[in-house]
Amino acid sequence: MRILREKRETKKIYTPTFRFCAADAVAIAGVILLAGLSALYVYRTFLFGSPSQSLEVIFTIDGKTVYSVPLQSNEVQTFTTTGDLGSITVTVRDGEAAITAADCPDQICVRTGRISTVGQAVVCLPNHAVLRIEPADGSETSSAYDIMAN
């Protein structure tokens, strides 16, 4: 470093000067826009909630509602219920819900994965348990499909 500086001082070949030009403005605006969009994306559920309506997660055993909670929440929520075959744990986070643990031999419910839209359900057959999503106000919703075959 010292040698470089000495060379510059002695020879004065190049003195960098900063001139703000149009291309710099575009680049900076782009970075700010990207940062803003990223933040919006990350915090979209926090900022906007559900775009059109509020949804709730409903957990039933043998058709009886054990609990219902808002799907949109700023914190991770876990609920553990005891069914016929032992405990069933439901996790709600970032606008998604899943059965994350169950004392059953099949584990089909855990493998089913996360749900986030009306009409989707996670079923635990041995426990007769169903986790599903419904509009909080009970209204009908438009979905990409009427019913799903699986």
x/- letters, 98..127, toward other proteins (CB under 8 A): ------xxx-x--xxxxx----xxxx-xx-
* Of 33 and 66, CB closest to other proteins: 66
The encoded tokens of residue 50 equal 């559900």
Cβ distance to other proteins smaller for residue 41 or 145: 145
Residues 37-66 contacting other proteins, CB under 8 A: 62-63
Element (H, E) at 68: strand 64-70
| Burial group, residue 122, by CB count within 10 angstroms (0-12, 13-18, 19+) | buried
Residue 39's φ and ψ, nearest 5 degrees, are -65, -45
Q: Does 16 bind other proteins (CB under 8 A)?
A: no
Cα angle 120, 137, 147; round to 5? 25
The answer to whether 24 contacts other proteins (rule: CB under 8 A) is: no
In contact, 108 and 95? CB cutoff 8 Å = no
Choices 9-17, 18-26, 42-50, 140-148; region in contact with other proteins by CB under 8 A: 140-148
Query: Counting contacts by CB under 8 A, is residue 137 touching other proteins?
Result: no
Q: Does 90 bind other proteins (CB under 8 A)?
A: no
Which residue type is seen at 140?
Answer: E
| 115 in Cβ contact with 92 (< 8 Å) | no
Residues that bind other proteins (CB under 8 A): 62-63, 104-106, 108, 111-115, 120-123, 125-126, 128, 130, 140, 144-150
